[in-house]
Structure 1
Amino acid sequence: MQTVPASGAPPLAAPTDRPLTALLFRKLMPLLVLSYVISFLDRTNIALAKTHIAVDLNISAAAYGLGAGLFFLSYAFLEIPSNLIMHRVGARFWITRIMVTWGLLSAGMAFVQGETSFYIMRVLLGAAEAGLFPGVMLYLTYWFGREDRARAVGYFLLGVCIANIVSGPLGGALLAMDGIWGFKGWQWMFVLEGLPAVFLAAVVWKKLPDGPDSAPWLTPAQAQAVRTRLAAEAADASTGKAGHSFLGAMRDPQVWLAIFIYFCHQISIYTVIFFLPGIIGTYGKLTPVEIGLLNSLPWIAAAIGAAWLPRHANTPGRGRRLLCLGLAVMAGGLLIAAFAGPVMALVGFSLTALMFFVVQSIVFLFPSSRLKGVALAGGLALINTCGLIGGFIGQSVMGLIEQATGSTRNGLIIMAALLLVACAVAPALRQGQER
């Protein structure tokens, strides 16, 4: 049981013992980031394989958009039960299970034969990976107070940036293995990028503690310091309207406001992830490796944003201002990409990507400061579920627009408009008992 300060007591300071905070980051974040790198490689390598499977398996642009989006449908459907299970059985066991199943299924994508098997495997892959992101969002609340959590989330989201930076050159090299031992290049890519998740799962099982009490690298005094800070914040959250139940979280208007903003954000981010390589491919006669290298540029910008900016969201007011700025910059970048030539379009995509994970790391601060226990586990999963539905809708709509018009311009304009609407409502977000 965690000790909660008496009612009316001032909130206890965060482990301002910076060496302790640095220790938490050093021990936890590298393994979590590496897990997310592999997760995103396996989730998005389909983008690099798009043109190849279209030829080999006769899959249309609309079918590709639907198949890419089906991942998010099954992922979203199982997010909430997955996070509630993790809350009961512990992070170490559940994250290990997620990694083993998604790694095997990702490798199994090499044996897709046509549209039907493509759809089935994407659905199964989404079901296998369901719960990883909201599970880690929940897991970080076991360790970091509000002042440090945005930075922790930002570091975790570096995994997406790293994955997209290395996926282009790596995927291009693997695609170049076409014909070796009778396998297509895209088959090699799925197998060689999927199996590492299974091997890393063994490391997660051995090294990832469920919480401060089970961390062998914390002294009892250090574990108590972490628990004390989190207990004070939990006491603040417990007096809010949301209560401790999942139904209580669903009754909090702030949760639904965060959901709307995150929904708009995820539509844009996954549209860029899954369609940017194809858009770059229209810029001229480029090899897969060249497309991969150009695709990496926006993700370098995203990595800079994730590592540099979230740490400034250390108060509710700063968080809101940075959130609004991020949404506006994302919208502006997409509009540049929609109307400019190849060079400026890449600049526009890079501006959008700069704020991808700044926005994402800040959005989760607001509901997590108002919820606890089952409400926290279910509420975070609910937000991510709705965001993933946005990913499904965005990709499906972009696929239809591209097939109908031969261009992605109108889709990018729609995404930019949604981001501007999210920017307009973001100032209404509140943390904890803030009015």
Structure 2
Amino acid sequence: MTILNTATAASAPAVSADQRLNRLLLRKLMPLLIVVYVMSFLDRTNIALAKASMGIDLGLSAAAYGLGAGLFFLTYALAEVPSNLIMQRVGARFWITRIMITWGLLSAGMAFVQGETSFYIMRLLLGVAEAGLFPGVMLYLTYWFDREQRARATGYFLLGVCLANILSGPLGGALLELDGVLGWHGWQWLFVIEGLPAVALAYVVWKKLPDGPSSAPWLSAADAQDIQRRLDAEKAGAPQQSRLAQMFRDKQIWLAIAVYFVHQITIYTVIFFLPGIIGTYAALSPLQIGLLTSVPWIAAAIGAATLPRLATSPGRCRALLFFGLLTMAAGLLLASLSNSFIGLLGFSLTALMLFVVQSIIFVFPSSRLTGNALAAGLAFVTTCGLLGGFVGPTVMGLIEQTTGNTRNGLWLIAAMLVVAAMLSTRLRQGQESVDQPQQSAAQARA
């Protein structure tokens, strides 16, 4: 008993020190990163609220809107890998600052589109400008957090999406009410007022965001060394791939891509079409639609803030992925069957798990890659997944124009989520074998 107490006492300070350091990292890094992501999502998704008035003023059909919404993700996806490789070379602080300045200016420039062609061009340019932000932050978090803490940090980062969608409804609805002020349409005010703050925030990123632990003024040399020691120990514990060719041959990477692809179809379908679907519930003003649109994203924020911290083992990660994807499917089915409060409840159920699933998916490929393969691999997973951001809105726009009812497409996405849930049970981290069901079950219970 004495020996046991002595060992426990000896290990307690180390555990306490790790917890203290993790809390410090979360407190110093995540608030700024969350605000950056809030701004990015406001600027990439504000066309959801502008859809109706832009369609009238510019003569955009539902199919043209869906295509324009999706084109952003086409160029965004194509530029992801080169953007992450550049960030690894020039540093996170410089590259994220550059991303913010260009996307802020182009988002504000959306106020000057004249029709379908200029709408498409501006969405394509906005995709190139913002490319690299999400995989860049996923790479950036690997500089600070080990695998056990990374899902939690990613979950906090994804709170930015929830907060953006909570804010975008009321804010966008209020800005649309400026229609006619100084001769501008409401949607023009929406793009300018939400786009330019990103340029100002870029200065804060340049001044406050460290490239890594060694350049953080709020970390002692001992703490920076401790972070590096933990990350090095994790890499040594499992053989990882450092070459791009090895990454492309890893079936686990492609499995993660398949799950992420379906996830991205779901999230951007909800983001771009939720306001329009809510608008069919009753005769509502833009502000009322905006307020109701915020409800599912409050549920998403609750999920992102509470559930990813449970993903502390490979088994638990798989369990959360599996049940999260099935929950999302059930929510969409419920939303497709009702055009009232029950439908909004269904969207809220889906939203609850959106960022729980997303925060966990990237733990799997990051546990199997290192060096350039890690930078390119995370970007490649994001690239392929974000093609779902192109497919989802485009297909939903065609379904709406063909059938006259957007909700018909929700059945298709729900079925895809069930397939993705089945695939997620085969995901493995590091040295894990796919043929270890008993070990995985034990880890899930741990």
- TM-score interval, smaller chain: over 0.9
Structure 2 counterpart of 1:418: 416
Aligned pair count reads 420
Structure 1 counterpart of 2:36: 35
Structure 2 counterpart of 1:101: 102
Deviation track 1:355-395 (CA, whole Å, cap 9, x = no partner) reads: 00000000000110111111111110011111110110011
Structure 2 counterpart of 1:91: 92
Structure 2 counterpart of 1:294: 292
How do 1:119-134 and structure 2 match up within 5 A?
119-134=120-135
The one of 408, 431, 434 aligned to 1:433: 431
Identity %: 70
Deviation track 1:255-292 (CA, whole Å, cap 9, x = no partner) reads: 00000000011001100000000000111110000000
How do 1:176-255 and structure 2 match up within 5 A?
176-237=177-238, 239-240=239-240, 243-255=241-253
Deviation track 1:8-32 (CA, whole Å, cap 9, x = no partner) reads: xxxxx98952111111001000000
Q: Contact 1:73/1:389 (CA < 8 Å) preserved in 2?
A: yes
Structure 2 counterpart of 1:404: 402
SS of equivalent residue, structure 2 residue 158 = helix
The one of 354, 370, 373 aligned to 1:372: 370
Deviation track 1:78-118 (CA, whole Å, cap 9, x = no partner) reads: 00100111111110000000000000000000000000000
Structure 1 counterpart of 2:9: none
CA 211–14 in structure 1, closer or farther in 2 if over 3 Å, else same: farther
Deviation track 1:193-233 (CA, whole Å, cap 9, x = no partner) reads: 00010000000000000000000000000000100001111
Q: 1:408 Cα deviation (Å)? A: 1.6
The residue type equivalent to 1:88 in the other structure is R
The one of 264, 274, 291 aligned to 1:276: 274
Q: Give TM-score, length-normalised by structure 1.
A: 0.95
Does 2:76 match 1:75?
A: yes
C-alpha separation in 1, matches of 2:250 and 2:222: 36
Unaligned runs of 5+ in 1: 1-12
C-alpha separation in 2, matches of 1:251 and 1:261: 17
C-alpha separation in 2, matches of 1:198 and 1:409: 37
C-alpha separation in 2, matches of 1:426 and 1:162: 27
SS of equivalent residue, structure 2 residue 104 = helix
Q: Contact 1:15/1:21 (CA < 8 Å) preserved in 2?
A: no
Structure 2 counterpart of 1:135: 136
How do 1:16-27 and structure 2 match up within 5 A?
17-27=18-28
The residue type equivalent to 1:38 in the other structure is M
C-alpha separation in 2, matches of 1:101 and 1:348: 36
Deviates more, 1:339-348 or 1:328-337: 339-348
Does 2:381 match 1:390?
A: no
Q: 1:127 Cα deviation (Å)? A: 0.4
C-alpha separation in 1, matches of 2:30 and 2:432: 29
Q: 1:409 Cα deviation (Å)? A: 2.5
Structure 2 counterpart of 1:355: 353
Q: 1:147 Cα deviation (Å)? A: 1.1
The residue type equivalent to 1:170 in the other structure is L
Deviation track 1:146-181 (CA, whole Å, cap 9, x = no partner) reads: 111101000000000000000000001111111111
The residue type equivalent to 2:337 in the other structure is F
Deviates more, 1:361-370 or 1:228-237: 228-237
The residue type equivalent to 2:399 in the other structure is I
SS of equivalent residue, structure 2 residue 312 = coil
CA 428–14 in structure 1, closer or farther in 2 if over 3 Å, else same: farther
Q: Contact 1:14/1:229 (CA < 8 Å) preserved in 2?
A: no
Structure 2 counterpart of 1:175: 176
The residue type equivalent to 1:140 in the other structure is L
C-alpha separation in 1, matches of 2:103 and 2:407: 33
Structure 2 counterpart of 1:7: none
* Cα root mean square deviation, aligned: 1.0
Unaligned runs of 5+ in 2: 1-13, 434-446
Structure 1 counterpart of 2:6: none
Q: Which runs of 4+ in 1 moved over 3 A?
A: 13-16
Structure 2 counterpart of 1:264: 262
